[in-house]
Amino acid sequence: MPSNSANPIPRPGFLSTLKSYRHPRVVTMFFFGFSCGLPLLLIFSSLSLWLREAALDRTMVTYFSWAALGYSFKFVWAPLIDKLPLPWLTRRLGRRRGWLLLAQLGVVAAIVGMAMADPSKSLTGMALAAVMLGLLGATQDIVVDAYRIESADQSLQALMASTYIAGYRIGMLAAGAGTLKLAAWFGGEGYSYAAWRDAYLCMALLMGIGIATTLVIREPNQQTKPSAYLANTRDYLRFLALFLLVVVSFVAVFWGSGNLLPVFFPVLAMPDASILTGFLGKAAQLILAVGFALGAARLAVIQGIARQEMVRETYIDPIADFFRRYGRSALLILALIGVYRISDILLSVIANVFYADVGFDKDQIANISKSFGLLMTILGGFLGGMLAQRYGVMPILFTGALLSAVTNLLFVLLAQTGPDIGMLTVVIVADNLSAGIAVAAFVAYLSGLTQISFTASQYAIFSSLMTLIPKFLGGYSGSMVDSIGYSTFFVITALMGIPVLVLVWLARRTDSGRFLSVS
């Protein structure tokens, strides 16, 4: 890795940085961001309101959020996408564009499937279509991430990340507020299946933006080499069988252990069990499930279900390559990835509940968060990209972490002032601006860690690890607030930023940090 100690690279001026936003690869990521942001809220907020209007109870509505679990576990099948060619599509479009077109067409089909399912009559079709949308939406993310990293060098990664974030947020706005506005316009007052159906069909049409982008762009010049072992259809099918066996084993053990562990450890079933007890119980379930899944994979390879060379090349080599390149620093880098966004994600889980408890109504929250919040996130992303290109990724990574922690203290002031619109605006503006800066720098950092031979695999692992710990802890944020109150909770989330700053400072001293200090 090159160092910046001698012959430092001149910092580009702000004017040249602005001009770089016109680069075709940078513009492309805006449209891909829109395409990736669109499916997510069609599973979450928009679908939740549709189901609620269809008279489903809250328990059933929340079950549907599991349809998006594919986004948290996309690293499981990312190696397949990294290595496996597609019949005909790979020859016609290239491996990245072929997978991308297949995923996007699948997203369209899943959205249409949801539109054609009336949840007031049957939930099975809706559930299957929602799960497929989660899996295919996550697959689109995997390919777009790989395309971004492979299509341009490190100097453009921060700018590409910022335009991707801007497009992603606008896609989420279209799928969230846009779907609700369309459903209201088509159906008026009360529940109307036809109104929701037509609104979702409009969202399927909007996916045409991503499909058109895929068809007009060029395939990246450098990308992961295809697997040398997929010489025939039989090997391909055996490898997919191994993949399905591992997934089924993981799911079965995870959910089964949820009922089994309380039998051996009754404290887990106690209604007044502490937050720490609940956290340890879930962690034990996860460890058991991973252990059994790995054991099933090992046994399947021994029995000859899949070729050992294929398994090593697809799953083991990407991890081994990362540890080989970074050595003792690898664990430090993984720790940074795992906790970098813990401060803002942990707070965001309970932010809307906090706004309501303070005394703001839904319209006030929605109007300010969707207008000022969206604008500041996009502005923060562009600003973060420009600053990272000018000053290097690592300094802006540190700045983003610092701002994310400090802005959490503004929530303490809001808790004291009550339902003050001006203060709410300040809090949302500061929070989203700092988040935009931090995410743009962080995506550029993760992109710089990947090896071109394992682009999709390694980035999927990094991005999954990025949200796994914060989202896992976020499930306990409500219990924490009940125990210690909002003000103390917000102070704790701010203090969580201190170890993150230490990890960024230490990571800057590694080879990857020196390489990314000046873009």
Could you give the residue ranges of the DSSP H alpha helices within 450-510? 455-474, 477-484, 486-495, 497-507
Q: Are residues 206 and 261 in the same domain?
A: no
Q: Are residues 74 and 179 in the same domain?
A: yes
Within-domain flag for 186: yes
Within-domain flag for 283: yes
Q: Which 8-state DSSP code applies to residue 57?
A: -
Closest CA to 397 of 348, 328, 447: 447
Query: In this structure, what are the phi and psi dihedrals at residue 411, rounded to the nearest 5 degrees?
Result: -65, -30
From CA 406, how far away is CA 411, in angstroms rounded? Answer: 10
Q: What is the pLDDT of residue 279?
A: 61
Within-domain flag for 4: no
Q: What is the largest CA-CA distance in the chain?
A: 69
- Where b means 16+ CB within 10 Å and e means fewer, 381-407 reads bbbbbbbbbbebbbbbbbbbbbbbbeb
Average pLDDT per block of 10 residues along the chain, 519 residues long: 44 60 82 92 76 66 62 76 78 87 95 90 84 91 87 75 85 82 78 89 95 90 58 68 80 76 61 58 77 85 79 80 87 90 78 77 67 80 82 89 91 89 89 88 84 75 78 70 85 91 86 52
* Residue 437 token pair: 């800066």
Q: Are residues 518 and 451 in the same domain?
A: yes
Helix axes 455-474, 124-151, angle to 10 degrees: 130
Q: Count of domains in the chain?
A: 3
Q: Residue 202 CA to chain centroid, in angstroms?
A: 24
Q: Are residues 299 and 353 in the same domain?
A: no
For residue 460, give every residue at least 6 positions away whose Cβ sits within 8 Å of its Cβ, in sequence order, or none: 74, 75, 78, 142, 145
Q: What is the pLDDT of residue 252?
A: 84
- Report the SS3 class of residue 5: coil
From CA 167, how far away is CA 162, in angstroms rounded? Answer: 9
Note whether 119 and 126 are within 8 A (CB): yes
Q: What is the pLDDT of residue 4?
A: 43
Task: Taking the CA atoms of 329, 330, 335 and 338 in sequence, report the sign of the dihedral they define.
Answer: positive
Within-domain flag for 3: no
Closest CA to 36 of 91, 74, 79: 74
Helix axes 477-484, 342-358, angle to 10 degrees: 60
Q: What is the pLDDT of residue 200?
A: 94
From CA 505, how far away is CA 414, in angstroms rounded? Answer: 31
Within-domain flag for 95: yes
For residue 193, give every residue at least 6 positions away whose Cβ sits within 8 Å of its Cβ, in sequence order, or none: 54, 118, 120
- Domain limit, last residue, from 205, 223, 241: 223
Q: Are residues 196 and 268 in the same domain?
A: no
Q: Are residues 302 and 319 in the same domain?
A: no
- Domain limit, last residue, from 223, 255, 289: 223
**For the domain that residue 515 is a member of, what is the CATH number?**
1.20.1250.20
- Distinct helix (H) and strand (E) counts, the chain: 28, 0
Q: How many CB atoms lie within 10 A of CB 254?
A: 17
- Domain limit, last residue, from 223, 251, 286: 223
Provide the residue range defining the domain that includes 247: 233-306
Write out the DSSP string of 190-227: S--HHHHHHHHHHHHHHTHHHHHHHHHSPPPSS-PPPP
What end-to-end distance do the CA atoms of the chain give, in Å?
13
Write out the DSSP string of 31-55: HHHHHHHHHHHHHTHHHHHHHHHTT
Within-domain flag for 399: yes
From CA 455, how far away is CA 451, in angstroms rounded? Answer: 6
Q: What is the pLDDT of residue 264?
A: 65
Q: How many CB atoms lie within 10 A of CB 488?
A: 14
Q: How many CB atoms lie within 10 A of CB 328?
A: 8
Q: Are residues 241 and 341 in the same domain?
A: no
Note whether 443 and 164 are within 8 A (CB): yes
Q: 456 exposed, middle or buried (CB, 10 Å; 0-12, 13-18, 19+)?
A: buried
Q: Are residues 177 and 282 in the same domain?
A: no
Q: What is the pLDDT of residue 458?
A: 79
Q: Are residues 179 and 327 in the same domain?
A: no
Q: 327 exposed, middle or buried (CB, 10 Å; 0-12, 13-18, 19+)?
A: exposed
Q: Are residues 265 and 157 in the same domain?
A: no
